[in-house]
Structure formats: structure tokens, C-alpha cells
Structure 1
Amino acid sequence: MGLIERMMGLVFGSGRNVVAETAEVFRVNAEAQAGREAGLQSAALQQFGQEFRLSQRGWFDRLMDALNRIPRPAMALGTLALFIAAMVDPVWFAARMTGIALVPDPLWWLLGAIVSFYFGARYQAKGQDFRRDLAATISTVPQVVRTIGDIDALRDVTPRNDASGTLQGEEAEHVDNPALAEWRQARS
């Protein structure tokens, strides 16, 4: 028993683990690494907490942050309220929408600029692109009408077949096909 005890003492020493210390040279100690990572994460969170501490900000800063959060929910909830108002009292809603229809375009542009301040310039750019695309589409209407007229005119020229599959009357005379003429002569 003394020999085994001395061998173990030599390998593990006085309270030390030589095998574990040797293995740590080649591989990171997972428990120690987890402790270091936890300390690092705790320090980072503490630093972020100090940066965003509300006690360092004044009442004006807090008020401005609160006001900046109002427009988006107010607009979304206001739009939903308009749908509800249209269902509850259609006459009242129609009167208000008629009034909105009388608002001049420059005022709508101003409102668009203000709204784009909150929602980004994308709103205004997409609206202008939509108007430009709409104008381009409307400008092609005469060409589309002419094309449809040309297509309808082609319907009058197309030969029609009866139930037997032979051409009718004058349409049969206008066909320029020697093989068809020979076939007709052979049949008659």
C-alpha cells in the first residue's frame, strides 16, 4: 500500500493533479474557459448598462424619446379607427372623406414630407415612382386601343368553317392553294 501511495503522490503530488495540468497544455480547461467567458460577458453587460442608464438623462431627453415613439402607433391606430368609423357611421365618414378630397395638392405634399421624416424618404420616392409609372401607363392607352382595333380587324379576315370542315361561299374562292383546288376538282 505504501508503494501505491508513493506512486500516486508522485503523479498527483501534494494536492496537485499533474495529469490535469499536463493535459491543459494541449487542451483548454473547459470549466476555466467558461468562467472567463462569463466574466467577459458580465463586464460587457455592465458597460452597456452604464451607457444606457436612465438616471443620467434629463427629463427633456426622456420626453423627446416618448414623443418620438407616438407617430407610428398613432397613425396605425388612426387608420384602424377610420375603418371602424366607416362601418359605424358611413354618413359621417363620407362627409369627412369629402372634406379630405378638397385638400389641395401642395398640402398633401407637405404632409408627405412630414410623414417621410418619420418613415423615411422611401415613402415619398415610392409614391413619386408610382405616379410616374401610372402616367407612363396612361400615356400608352391610345396605342393599346389601336392594337386592340387591329386585332379585332383580323377577326373579319379569318375564314370560317362549317360543320363538315369545308370553306363557305366567297371564302372558298379567295383561297390560293393549288393542292386544294386539285382536291376540289377530284371530288366534284
Structure 2
Amino acid sequence: MSALMGTLFGDGRNAVAETVELFRENAENGAAREAALSQAALAQFAAEFAGTRRSPFDVVIDGLNRLPRPALALGTLALFVSAMVDPVWFASRMQGIALVPEPLWWLLGGIVGFYFGARHQAKGQEFQRSIAATLAQAGQVTEGLAALEALRGGALARQAALPAPVSEPVDDEEAATDAPNAALAEWKNARG
């Protein structure tokens, strides 16, 4: 029996585990590989977008890209107000919209859809860049926290190494005369 156990588990090897790993991945090793892959991808992503600055042109274009959504929302509200203020004017404008051919509506829908889709994608990528930049700083934050903990540990060790303050014994009568405690004064008077 010991020869069989030595064959299966001897020499720092585990034949059963090695055989099972031929058919099923070792979950712990797989998780370690997945974590290493994620860390490498995040590091590459952070390095790609580190230090990018936006030009004034990018800022202006980004500002212009923010206009269509509020303009569409406010324009729709303005149509409701115009329908209540001047129904004839509103009805004539709606008759004009009714004359727009259907292919033009499809084209407008495609343009608006692509615009908002591209805007959503651009904002999503900007968000991912900010996440990557934040994760790139995680090592610095961890090092700073470790340094602070080391300082705290050193301060506690120095405080523990200090000798405790020694108080000199005080005579009971001295303490009673210095103390403003009425009960002690009464006790002192009763004694003597």
C-alpha cells in the first residue's frame, strides 16, 4: 500500500491531480492567468492613453457636440408651446412636415441614430480612459498607504518603548489639604 501511495503522491508530485488536469483546468492557476492577462491589458491601455492632452479645437468641437441633444429637447418643448399659443401657425408647419417623403425620414433617422451612437461610443471610450488612468495610479496609492502604515507602526513602537511616567507617593494629609473635595475635608476634620 505504501508503494502505491508513494507512486501516486511521492517525490513532491501528485499523479492524481496531474491526471485530472489533463481533462479539467486547474481553477487556481486559471484564475492567476486571467488576473495576469487583465493586469497586462489594463497596463497597456493606461500606457496608450497616458499624458494625452486635449487641444482647444477638441474642446470647441466637444462643446458643439453637446448642443444637438438640448436643442432637440428644447425644440420639442417649443413646438408644444407654439401649438398652444398659435394653433394655426403650428398646424401649417405640421402640414409642411407631412409633405416630407418617407425616404427622407429614414435618412434623418439614420443620421440622428449614427450621431448619438457615435457620441455614446466616444463618451464610453473617454470613460474607459479615465478608468485606466485611475488604475494606473493604484500602485502609487498603495505605496503611499504602506508608507503611512509604516509611519504609524513606527510611532506606536516608539510610544511603547517610552517608560511609563512615575508618580511619587503622596501623603494622605497633603492630598486632603490640596483637594477641594468636601467629603475628604469632612473626613479629615472627623479624624483629627
Q: What TM-score do you get using the length of structure 1 for normalisation?
A: 0.37
